[in-house]
Chain A
Amino acid sequence: MESLTLNHFLTLSAILFSLGVFGVMTRRNAVVVLMGIELMLNSANINLIAFSRFNGNLDGQMLAIFVIVLAAAEAAVALAIILNMYSNLKTVNLDEVDQLKE
């Protein structure tokens, strides 16, 4: 049986990253956009851990742990802000939030 190589991981993470970017670009619901951003951060985590395994040092795994923590912190702040926006504007659709314009 063929074993997993670095390329498998990199392909997986590239696909996840692209899906994340696609989600951010196309979705108008703020919460779904945040999910896209989480996908981007996690694709970087896969990269880091795979590289860490194949480079033979632990730096990448260390960074991945911090990225997980930061993703959680970012999600907490973002959801709080979006929740606040919902209670003020009664919408989470980014296209409908357009008071600030040229």
Chain B
Amino acid sequence: MNLDALYTYVLNSIALLQPEVIVTIGLLGVLIIDLFTPKSMHKWSAGVFLGVMVLALISLSGQSGVQASVFFGMIAVDGYAVFFKYLFLVSAILATLITLFSDEMDRNGRRFGDYFIVMAGLVLGMMLMAGANNLLMMFISIELVSLASYILVSYLKDEKTSNEAGVKYIIYGAFSSGLMIYGISLIYGITGTLSISEINEVLKNPAVVIDPVTLTIAVLLTLGGFGYKIAAAPFHFWAPDAYEGAPTPVAAFLSVGPKAAGFAMMLRFFKTIFFGTSTPEGYQILDNIDWVSILAAVSVLTMTIGNVTALWQQNVKRMLAYSSIAHAGYILMGVILLSDSGIAAMMFYLAYYLIMNLGVFFTAMLIADKVQSFELDDWRGMGFRAPVLAIPMVIFLASLIGIPGTVGFAGKFLLFVAVLQQGSLYFWLALIAVANSVVSAFYYFKVVKMMYLKKPVENADGPISVSIPATVLVFVFAVPTIVLGLWWQPLYNWALASVRMLVG
């Protein structure tokens, strides 16, 4: 490749990464604007950040139907990545709005600038994760997301719980990335390349003899990094502590954004590396290692641990952390299915999970800001003290259980249908998932019971007033939870159309 051709190639690559470039410029923009604004106007950085996210969304809308590999196969820009990039940008916008209503962040008294710089870095990392087509890019982008998350979790510098959450998070996170990079180094050693499609070529080649034990160990170590990002067992231990100690808007964002990014990258990794030729009917899987059974075991373990441990939680935030672990278990079912419908169901579930989980965290945050506590006991009688928050809360919890008529039901329904379509082999998996959903109803309804069937605490102040903008935002989450639950076909069709990944 001569210099002119190289120049044109790089320019074309940059053009295809326009949304990422906008986010990067936004990161620097927030930094510079924050330097020159007086402290009284520090909330403006939120406005700048929102503007950047909207610009990136507009730029992203020009990328439908693009199938390209940029920067020498490092990053893929395909329908699959674009779908997830929409998800990340929307979740970042909603998380920013949640942040603006948080008492916790206000009380802290620090400038918002730092927060949104790190947040922009996080969004950039997630967008790269969705497209990463090379183990080098995968490792860098997952680390970018992790580093930004560590900072956000321990953002409340003076709160002891936030400190503790940050320390626990970074030690688990750094340990998992140590495992992951060791696994990547072994995969590189076995196959001699870092590009995941070239690894696939090597594995497909019958002339190359590969020791299955080494490959299994290498993939299991790499799985450590993915498992940590999506909070799957046995790498879930950080999640309850990190979510409970983190500022609530951060916990809400971590439970949807980076988790979706982890799933996006994990699926691309497994699907590109371990599949033979793919046809519309299904995929032919390479039989080097039995990763389907491994991931099925992880999925069952994750959802069971999440749901069972959530049963005896007395702290709502911690309970929601375990609930998000359990949901990662459900979503993992979509990863192990060897079908387009399984992948589409997974993408669909992640999109719907975004709405209901951000909603439940936001409502819980508003209630907790009023009663100064996430303890379930202090929430007694909330249904009578603050009906405008309690009713949406019930909607979100019903959706998390998967009651018909909500987005949670649509997501679980499509996931279970995709599982059962794969034949009786996966029947037991669907059965365990349904049993888990039933168990989850107990702890979700414990919150409803406290809010509606118990008398308010004796020294309670009576009715709680909620500001109009906060109420509006609660309903911005609550209305789609119902409406999209009944009218889910368009999003599912979009997910189905976005399944095709770029190979090569």
Contact = CB atoms under 8 A, between A and B. Distances in A.
Contacts of A99: 160-161, 164
Contacts of B147: 73-74, 77
A85 B164 contact: yes
B157 interface: yes
A74 B148 CA distance: 10
A81 B155 CA distance: 9
B163 A88 contact: yes
Contact of A40 (B178, B193, B240): B178
Most interface-central of B175, B177, B178 (chain A CB within 10 A): B178
Contacts of B188: 47-48, 51, 55, 59-60, 63
Interface residues of A, number: 44
A70 B28 CA distance: 20
B186 A47 contact: yes
A30 B171 contact: yes
B48 interface: no
5 contacts: A37-B174, A55-B192, A59-B194, A85-B164, A89-B164
Contact of B164 (A17, A51, A100): A100
Contacts of B165: 100
B241 interface: yes
A35 B153 CA distance: 22
Given A59-B188, A85-B164, A41 B181 contact: yes
Contacts of A40: 175, 178-179, 181-182
Interface of A: 10, 13, 17, 20, 24, 30, 33-34, 37, 40-41, 43-45, 47-48, 50-51, 55-57, 59-60, 62-63, 66-67, 70, 73-74, 77-78, 81-82, 84-85, 88-89, 94, 97-100, 102
Interface string B149-165: 01100100110110111
Interface string B133-151: 0011001100100010011
Contacts, number: 129
Contact of B170 (A55, A59, A78): A78
B167 interface: yes
Nearest to B143: A70
A26 to B, nearest CB: 13
Contacts of A70: 139-140, 143, 177
A77 B150 contact: yes
Contacts of B167: 30, 81-82, 85, 94, 97
B218 to A, nearest CB: 10
Contacts of A81: 150, 154, 163, 166-167, 170
In the A-B complex, list the 7 residue pairs whose CB atoms are closest, starting with the nearest. Answer: A40-B178, A47-B185, A51-B189, A44-B181, A55-B192, A44-B182, A37-B174
A44 to B, nearest CB: 4
B79 to A, nearest CB: 28
B175 A37 contact: yes
Contacts of A78: 150, 170-171, 174
B140 A48 contact: no
A57 B192 CA distance: 8
Given A44-B178, A62-B136, A77 B170 contact: yes
A37 B171 CA distance: 8
Interface in B301-321: 309, 312-313, 318
Contacts of B351: none
A100 B245 contact: yes
A63 B175 CA distance: 18
B244 interface: yes
B184 interface: yes
Contacts of A17: 182
Contacts of B175: 24, 37, 40
Contacts of A50: 189
Given A51-B185, A60-B185, A63-B188, A74 B163 contact: no
Given A81-B150, A88-B160, A97-B164, A66 B139 contact: yes
Interface in B29-74: none
A30 B154 CA distance: 16
Contacts of B158: 88
Contacts of B193: 57, 59
